[in-house]
Structure 1
Amino acid sequence: MANKKIFTFKIGENWKVVVLAVLAATTFWFFNSLNKNYEARLSYPIAFDFPRDSVVIVKPLPDEVRIDVASGGWNLLRKTFWFNVDPLIIQLDNPTEIKFLTRNSLYDIIKDQLTDIDLNRVVTDTLFISVEPKIQKMVMAVVDSLTIPLATNYRLTSAITYEPDSVLIEGPSSLMNRFPSTWLLEFDRSDIAGDFERSLAVPLTDNRLMSSTPKSVTVKFRAEEFIRDSLLVEIQPVNFPNRYRGKVPFLADTTTYVFYTIKGDLASQVSDSAFSIAADFKMYNSEDSTITPVVLFRPSEVLELQLLPEKLKVGHANQ
C-alpha cells in the first residue's frame, strides 16, 4: 500500500503578519474606493423655519426627505455615517396657508443647499404640513347642578361659586372654533356630602394642542342631608252649615297624614302643631261627597308636601 503524504499549513508564529497583511489590503481597498464617484439614495434631515409664537403645529412636521445624489465616496460617507449632518432648512413665510410641498418645489430648495454633492432627484413625493393659527378664547366655567354626584339623600343648599369664573383657552383654530363659550366641569369624586371645595381641571379637547390659564377652577358649594318624614295632623272644618239638603254634614275623615321633606338636622323641630290644614265646605264635591283639604300654614323649612288621603270624606247625619 502506497504511503500517502499529508500536507499541512501551519501559521504558527506568522499569524500576526497574515492579519496585518489582510488589514492593510482592506484599508487600501477602502480608501481607494472612497476616491471614486457614486450614486446613492439618502434620507436627509430637514427642518422648517417659521415664527412659532402665533401658530400651532397640529401634526408633527416631516423630519427627513429621500433624495438621490451623486458624489465622491468621502462626501457620501460624511453625509451618512461619520458626522452629524446639518439639516436642510425649509423656509415657510406663511405656514398656516401652506398645506403641502411637492417634489418639484422641494428640488430647488434642496439643490441650493447641497453644495458638495449633486442632487439627481427628489424621491419623496409630497411633504404634508399641518400648521394652524393660534387662537385665544375666554370660556366660562360652569357646573351642571343636576350632574353633581351627591351622596344619597343629599341636596345642594347653597349657590355654586367659582374661582375664577372663567379661563383663557388657547389652541389651533380648527379646535377653538368648535369650542363652546361655556364649559362644563367634571367631578373626579362621588358621594359628595357637606361642604365641598375642590379644584377641578378644565377639560380640553386635545391636551397636546390646547392649554388653559389657569389649568383648574376652584368650585365651592354646600350639600346637606334631607329626610322624608310624616305626621298625623287634625283637620279644621271650615264653613260647614248646620244643615245641607235636610241633613247635618260632618267630616268623616278628621285627620290626614302630612308627608314632607326636610333637612335632617331640623326634623326634630317640627311637630303636628306646626301645620294648619282645613276642610272648607265651599269646596264640597257632591258627586263623591268629598272635600280636598287645604294647607293654611306650614313651616317654611318643609318641602314637597303631600297629604294622604288627598280627599276627605264628608258624612251626613239626620238631625
Structure 2
Amino acid sequence: MNFVRIIFNLLRFDRANWKAVVLCVATALVFWIFNAFNKNYSTNIRFPILFEFDGERYVPAEHFPKTITVNVSGNGWDLFRRYAGLRSPQLIIPLERPAEVRKIIASTLVPVVASQIGNLKVNFVVTDTLYLHIDKRDVHRYKLKADISAVSFQEGYGRISPVVVLPDSVKLEGPESRLHAVIDSIVIPVNHKNVSENFREEVEVTFAGSEFVRRNPPIVQVMFEVAQVEIVNKKLKVEVDKNSIALDVDSVNANFQIPVSRKSDFDLQSKEIISRVSTRSMKKNGVALPRVLNVPSYAQLLRIDSIHSKGH
C-alpha cells in the first residue's frame, strides 16, 4: 500500500508544478538546440546564381540555370540560416567571353563560390554541369504574313479581299541565332470559327524562340473583308511558256469563290484570267499544275485541274 501511495503522490501535480515541469523541459530543449547548433556540420545547400556579362552586346538565347547545389561545411547556425533561405546570397558567375561558353563544369566554380559564401567551407559542387547559350545581340526587320487556314466561315460566307497585316513588318532585337533562324518572313497563325462579318483581330507576333526576342510591335492587326459568296466554275485558256511543251488540252476547269454581289463583274473580268504552264512546273511524270494569272482581288481560286503533257 505504501508503494501505491508513493506513485499516486508522484502523479498528483498541481498547476504550479506542471508549469515548473514545462519550463524545465523548454529550458533543456533550448540549451540542447544551442549546443547542437554550435557544432560543425556538412550539408547540401542550393544557391541562386546570376551570370555577369556585357548585356549591351550579348543576350541569352536559352533559359539560364537558376540555381547551383553545393556541399558545404560550417557552424550549425550559419548552415541553418543558409538552408532556410534566410541568408542565401546570389552567387555571381562572371563570363568574359559569353558567346563562346556553352557549358561550365561546375567543379571549376569552387573558387568562385568559396569567395562569396562567407564562413562556410566548400567541400564540392553537387551540380555536375551548367549549360548556357548566349549570343551576340542582333537587330533585323522581317515581313509579316497571316496564315488564316484555321479560320472557318459560316455556311454561305467567305473572304472577299486580300488578307492585310498592319503593320506589315516587325523589328526584332535579340540573339543572332534566333533571328537568323527566321528566313525572310514571320507567319502569324489566326484561328477563328464561324466568321460571317468583316474580320479584324489583334494577334501576337510569335515564333520559335520569340520569348528571347524583343518585338516591335509585339501585337499586330489582321483584317479582311467577309461577305456572302458563291462558287463558280470557269474554263481557262492554257498558255505555255516554252513552245517545246506539247499538252493534251488547251484549256482547264477552275473553281473560284466570289462575292454574290460581284457575280456580274466576275463574268466580265474572268475573260482576262489565264492559266500558264512552264517546263519548270512540269514534273517527271508529265503532270503540271498551272499558275493562274489576272484573278480579281475579290475572287479566290479554290481548285484547278492538272495538265498532262502529250506522251504521258
Instruction: Output the TM-score relative to the length of structure 1.
Output: 0.60
Shift of 1:193: 5.3
Bigger Cα displacement from structure 2, 79-88 vs 220-229: 220-229
SS at match of 2:178: helix
Matching residue of 1:216 = 219
Where structure 1 has 5 or more consecutive residues not aligned to the other structure, the ranges are 231-259, 271-301, 305-319
Shift of 1:41: 1.5
SS at match of 2:181: coil
Q: Structure 1 CA distance, aligned partners of 2:84 and 2:98?
A: 32
Q: Structure 1 CA distance, aligned partners of 2:76 and 2:26?
A: 20
Cα distance 1:151–1:16, how it changes in 2: closer, same or farther (>3 A)?
A: closer
Matching residue of 2:59 = 55
Among candidates 111, 116, 128, match of residue 113 of structure 1: 116
Bigger Cα displacement from structure 2, 119-128 vs 189-198: 189-198
SS at match of 2:220: strand
| 1:120-269 mapped onto 2 (5 Å cutoff) | 120-143=123-146, 149=152, 157-192=160-195, 195-227=198-230, 264-265=260-261
The total of aligned residue pairs comes to 241
Q: Residues 170 and 216 of structure 2 are in contact (CA less than 8 Å); yes or no, is this contact kept in structure 1? A: yes
Q: CA RMSD in A?
A: 4.0
User: Taking every aligned residue pair, what percent have the same amino acid on both sides?
Assistant: 22
Shift of 1:168: 1.6
SS at match of 1:185: strand
Residue 99 in structure 1 maps to residue 102 in structure 2: yes
Matching residue of 2:43 = 41
Structure number with greater Rg is: 1
Cα distance 1:211–1:28, how it changes in 2: closer, same or farther (>3 A)?
A: same
Q: Whose helix fraction is larger, Structure 1's or Structure 2's?
A: 2
User: 1:177-235: CA deviations, max 9, x gaps?
Assistant: 222312233333245556444434323224533443212333444455454689xxxxx
Q: Structure 1 CA distance, aligned partners of 2:77 and 2:208?
A: 51
User: 1:52-76: CA deviations, max 9, x gaps?
Assistant: 454025124232322232x333333
Where structure 2 has 5 or more consecutive residues not aligned to the other structure, the ranges are 234-255, 267-298, 302-312
Equivalent position amino acid for 1:264 in 2: V
Cα distance 1:24–1:168, how it changes in 2: closer, same or farther (>3 A)?
A: same
Q: Structure 2 CA distance, aligned partners of 1:64 and 1:262?
A: 63
SS at match of 2:109: helix
Q: Structure 1 CA distance, aligned partners of 2:177 and 2:104?
A: 21
Equivalent position amino acid for 2:62 in 1: V
Q: Residues 102 and 126 of structure 1 are in contact (CA less than 8 Å); yes or no, is this contact kept in structure 2? A: yes
User: 1:117-169: CA deviations, max 9, x gaps?
Assistant: 33333333322333334433211112468887555565665454432121123
Q: Structure 2 CA distance, aligned partners of 1:20 and 1:266?
A: 96
Q: Structure 2 CA distance, aligned partners of 1:121 and 1:268?
A: 83
Shift of 1:106: 0.9
Equivalent position amino acid for 1:265 in 2: S
Matching residue of 1:277 = none
SS at match of 2:212: coil
